Every structure is written in C-alpha cells, then in structure tokens.
C-alpha cells in the first residue's frame, strides 16, 4: 500500500453540475485531434471540460499529444521523448495544425477544466511543474493507464489534485471489494473518479464506484443511443469525439450544463 504524503483535501475539479461533458482530445471528430482548432471548437460549444494527453520532449516541455511518436497524425516522424521542443514544434497535425503545449492550453482558458492523461513516464515531472507554475490545482484531473505513472505524478505534487483510479483501482471495483476497504484507499490517493471504457460501464459497477465515493466517467462515446443509455444508467460524465452530438443529446434531455457565462 502506498503511503500518501499529502492531506486528502477535496479539490474543486468536479464541482460542476453533473453529468459532465468532456471533449475527448478536444473533439476529434470535428477538427484534428488535440489541435488548437479542436479545443477552440469545444470551448465555443460551451464545454467546461477538455480531455487531452501529455508527453514530454527531451528537454522537458509538456505537449498535448496522444501518441509516443509523431508518425500517425503529423507530417513528421520520430519519438517525442527523443526530440527537443523546438523540433516537435515544427510538426503539424494533419499537415496544418501546430501541437499545443499543455501550459499554453491552461493559460488560454483559465476557466476551463482539463482531464490530463499521462502517456509516458518522462511526462510526470514536467506535468507537476506545469500544474505548480499555473496554480491549476483545482483545474486538472490526472489519469493514466499506468498506476506507476499516476503514483510518480502524485508524489511530485505539493498539493492534492483530482486523480482518476488506476487500472488496479478499476480492477478492485470490478472485484466487488467492500466499501470499507475501497473508499479509504481511494481517498488517501486523492482518487475522485473512475474513468472507464464503454464495455465496463454496467449498472452494478457504477453503483460500486458511487458506493466507494467515486464519480464515473465513460470513454469514448460517439453514438447518441449509447450516450442516452449511459446517462440513464447514472454515469457522471461522458467523454466524446462527437462534441456537437453529445451537446445536443444532453440539451434534449435537459442535462446540458455549459460552463459559467455560456448559454444553450
């Protein structure tokens, strides 16, 4: 068991009215994934939460990018971790869009919340430094497919931030362990949410997560029928590439809650 080095103080990341709509990779169905245009589109739609991914360059600059390499979605190739920031900055997503820096995204929209997926070990320290510099303690939630990366990031932080359950934590929920064991363990790690794929989003699992003190966010949901079905099950948030579609589904259900100052 990990010994927490920080007080378990709730953060305000999840204080928005539920259910929460997340723009996955900015809303990758409308503009190139993790591009400024995608994020800007979601912001204009009234989204309060943006989801993106983090990698660090060889000189420790944190970029919002999904893959370890530039090959799949840019006009360049090579591993991000092996390149300096100046070289990565020359790449263009879909041949036209620059790769955003996480710090620039946080600065561009100071009222937005960001769900940040730590995709590689070297990103942990730069991420902690960015959160510290921007004082984004209440504006970020950290997630990862790696318990090791989550633990490394948490240990580098001076204050608690919202954390998503690791794959180990999600497995513990699926196992049916009692609340008296799960809830304190999650609280010690500042784990506030379970972020799960569609295939795991069942009524019993959602109920177990809620009983353990967690909210449930489901990814990546791009069909209207699935969106409605999950909302009927009581999920607390949906991540989608289809930002316009999710917005409309939630408007039709009376569940669209744009960020402060925005209207339907």
Other beta carbons within 10 angstroms of residue 3's beta carbon come to 5
Q: Is 24 a catalytic residue?
A: yes
Q: Out of 16, 41, 66, 217, which one is annotated catalytic?
A: 66
Whether 66 is a known active-site residue: answer yes
Q: Tokens at residue 132, please?
A: 């510290």
Phi, psi of 122, rounded to the nearest 5 degrees = -65, -15
β-partners of residue 2 are none
Q: Which residues contact 67 (CB under 8 A, 6 or more apart)?
A: 73, 80, 119
Residues 6 or more apart whose CB falls under 8 angstroms from that of 5 comprise 155
Q: For the packed helices 124-134 and 147-156, what is the interaxial angle rounded to 10 degrees?
A: 40
Planar angle of CA 130, 25, 89, nearest 5 degrees: 60
Catalytic residues: 24, 66
């Amino acid at each position: 068991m990990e010994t927490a080095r920080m007080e378990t103080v709730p953060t305000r990341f999840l204080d928005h009215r539920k259910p929460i709509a997340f723009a996955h990779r900015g809303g990758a169905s409308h503009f190139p994934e993790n591009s400024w245009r995608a994020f800007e589109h979601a912001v204009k739609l009234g989204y309060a939460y943006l989801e993106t991914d983090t990698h660090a360059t060889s000189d420790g600059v944190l970029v919002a990018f999904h893959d370890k390499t530039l090959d799949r979605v840019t006009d360049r190739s090579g591993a991000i971790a092996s390149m300096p920031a100046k070289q990565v900055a020359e790449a263009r997503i879909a041949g036209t869009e620059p790769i955003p820096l996480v710090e620039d995204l946080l600065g561009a929209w100071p009222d937005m919340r960001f769900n940040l997926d730590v995709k590689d070990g070297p990103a942990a320290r730069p991420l902690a430094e960015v959160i510290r510099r921007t004082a984004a303690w209440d504006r970020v939630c950290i997630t990862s497919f790696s318990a090791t990366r989550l633990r490394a990031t948490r240990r580098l932080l001076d204050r608690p931030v919202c954390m998503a359950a690791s794959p180990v934590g999600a497995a513990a929920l699926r196992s049916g362990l009692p609340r008296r064991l799960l809830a304190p363990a999650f609280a010690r790690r500042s784990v506030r949410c379970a972020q799960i794929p569609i295939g795991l989003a069942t009524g019993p699992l959602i109920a177990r997560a809620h009983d353990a003190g967690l909210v449930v966010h489901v990814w990546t949901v791009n069909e209207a029928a699935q969106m409605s079905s999950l909302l009927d099950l009581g999920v607390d948030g949906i991540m989608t590439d289809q930002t316009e579609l999710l917005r409309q589904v939630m408007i039709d259900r009376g569940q669209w809650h744009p960020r402060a100052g925005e209207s339907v």
